[in-house]
Amino acid sequence: MADRVLVRRHTELDLSVGLVVGDGGCLVVDTRGDERQGAELAAEVRRITRDPWTVVITHSHFDHSFGTRPFLDCPVWAHEGCRTDLVENGAAARDVWARWYRERGEDGIADDIAGTEIVLPDRLVTGGAELSVGGRAVVLAHFGPGHSGNDLVVHVPDAEVVFAGDLVENGAPPDYEDAFPLGWPAALDGLLGLLGPAGGTVVPGHGDPVDRGFVVAQRAETAAVAELCREVAAGRMTPEEAVRLSPYPEETTRVALGRPVAVG
């Protein structure tokens, strides 16, 4: 993406993970969805650098956070809500996703997920933090609930690259299953505030990297969905009307309409 800032994109779930390399240290952004996938990623990182690594998790969903074990022992950064969610819901999510893959005949992935030990982050962020990665500044920022209650973006200022996690989605509609629709536009405002006048590069959790214009457009779409959620919750609009007016497909819109109307 830029000087010693790399992205690795995987066929499975179209997931993108990141690597920031400094002088004598590196940062791994997300660890994939199980211990085997995490070990594969760790081996690929070691093909690039032998420097000590730090891990940052963009949010608690399994595909971003369950592959951490092979990277230990190292600092693991995440929003404080990420740790809470993994403690309270991680085991149940592991069961759900193992079953999901098994029902689709993908027993290998199902077995890998079922046998994964969930690692809890040990460096917790509330609003933000600044790390030094081999002498390079990396900013971690939480802009409130959006795709989840614990989204953390990773900004590499000297490269003008932002790892957005699933706050930005490319190639599919945003996932509202665990989301806070009314908070999502504000979270994207915060992310946009990190980008310089030239815009820089934004790496979604899934799909190709995008530019500022893409994020601005998705912010407008999430704002439209937030307004539809308000209108339906207030009884001024039916769900059917909201579906008709939504920028997203019916299934996505109905999931959003079923989420809490409070910001978080």
DSSP 116-144: PPPPPPSEEESSEEEEEETTEEEEEE--S
264 lies in a domain? Answer: no
198 lies in a domain? Answer: yes
DSSP 103: H
Q: Tokens standing for 232?
A: 């339906």
206 lies in a domain? Answer: yes
Helix (H, G, I), strand (E, B) or coil at 181: coil
pTM: 0.95
Q: Are 201 and 5 in contact (CB under 8 A)?
A: no
52, burial (CB in 10 Å: exposed 0-12, middle 13-18, buried 19+): exposed
pLDDT tens for the 264 residues of the chain, in order: 999 999 999 988 999 999 999 999 999 999 999 999 999 999 999 999 999 999 999 999 999 999 999 999 999 999 999 999 999 999 999 999 999 999 999 999 999 999 999 999 999 999 999 999 999 999 999 999 999 999 999 999 999 999 999 999 999 999 999 999 999 999 999 999 999 777 899 999 999 999 999 999 999 999 999 999 999 999 999 999 999 999 999 999 999 999 987 654
pLDDT score, position 261: 78
Side chain identity at residue 55, one-letter code: V
Q: Are 70 and 35 in contact (CB under 8 A)?
A: yes
Contacts of 231 (CB under 8 A, 6+ apart): 237, 242
Q: Is the dihedral of CA 207, 33, 255, 142 positive or negative?
A: negative
**CA-closest candidate to residue 15, choices 208, 221, 199:** 208
Residues 45 and 28: their CA atoms lie apart, in Å, by 8
235, burial (CB in 10 Å: exposed 0-12, middle 13-18, buried 19+): exposed
69 lies in a domain? Answer: yes
160 lies in a domain? Answer: yes
Residues 121 and 46: their CA atoms lie apart, in Å, by 22
pLDDT score, position 90: 97
pLDDT score, position 199: 82
CATH of residue 75: 3.60.15.10
Question: How many domains is the chain built from?
Answer: 1
**CA-closest candidate to residue 148, choices 183, 124, 118, 192:** 183
Residues 123 and 136: their CA atoms lie apart, in Å, by 18
pLDDT score, position 262: 66
pLDDT score, position 264: 47
Domain range for 136: 5-257
Q: Are 21 and 48 in contact (CB under 8 A)?
A: yes
263 lies in a domain? Answer: no
262 lies in a domain? Answer: no
E strand or H helix at 16: strand 16-21
**CA-closest candidate to residue 174, choices 126, 242, 223:** 223
